[in-house]
Chains A and B, each alone.
Chain A
Amino acid sequence: NAGVTQTPKFQVLKTGQSMTLQCAQDMNHEYMSWYRQDPGMGLRLIHYSVGAGITDQGEVPNGYNVSRSTTEDFPLRLLSAAPSQTSVYFCASSGQVNTEAFFGQGTRLTVV
């Protein structure tokens, strides 16, 4: 049982480049989210989804796009990378509203 799988684990981008962070879960979870973790800031919500075809913005959505075409996948797109987007990104999923959250292993992104 793979749980929540994030790829890649590490990525270095140049300012202005675009890329997609992949997140897939095999637990048939409706709820999925993207968070970024920065020193001194803790984890903050970027975007979330409550089901296929439904997404919404979190606390820090600027510079990121998401889509949810299937229940399993929730990719995060960086449109034009900036050094301020250097962070560790975590994808999470859960089955129902008040249930345990499962996290991916994280993607460490550096923008130079």
Chain B
Amino acid sequence: KNEVEQSPQNLTAQEGEFITINCSYSVGISALHWLQQHPGGGIVSLFMLSSGKKKHGRLIATINIQEKHSSLHITASHPRDSAVYICARGQGAQKLVFGQGTRLTINP
């Protein structure tokens, strides 16, 4: 069993829908990262969380340390949000442990 589990693995939605991607982890953490990867592209950091909630534009990330669970929300989704979203636990760039990723497709 992977230490970091994401759900769903694949998600297809219509433009404008509210999107939620979930991430659960099995060991205590110091930080939880949300990353975005476009097809054939590099990896971009969206958020790093150790508690509470963070917001950047239409993206919101929350974390519940007690329940070992984090969520990434996208409001008013757009086709350009189509990408693979990856959560990872760890400290900075070294020793990150990644989830399998969630492939998100937003149809116009």
Contacts and interface: CB of A to CB of B under 8 A. Distances in A.
Contacts, number: 80
A98 B48 contact: yes
Contact of B45 (A31, A35, A103): A103
A97 B2 CA distance: 23
Contact of B100 (A42, A90, A92, A97): A42
B95 interface: yes
Contacts of A106: 41-43
Chain B interface category by residue count: 20 to 34
Contacts of A40: 100
Nearest to A91: B93
Interface of B: 2, 30-31, 33, 35, 41-45, 48, 50, 86, 88, 91-101
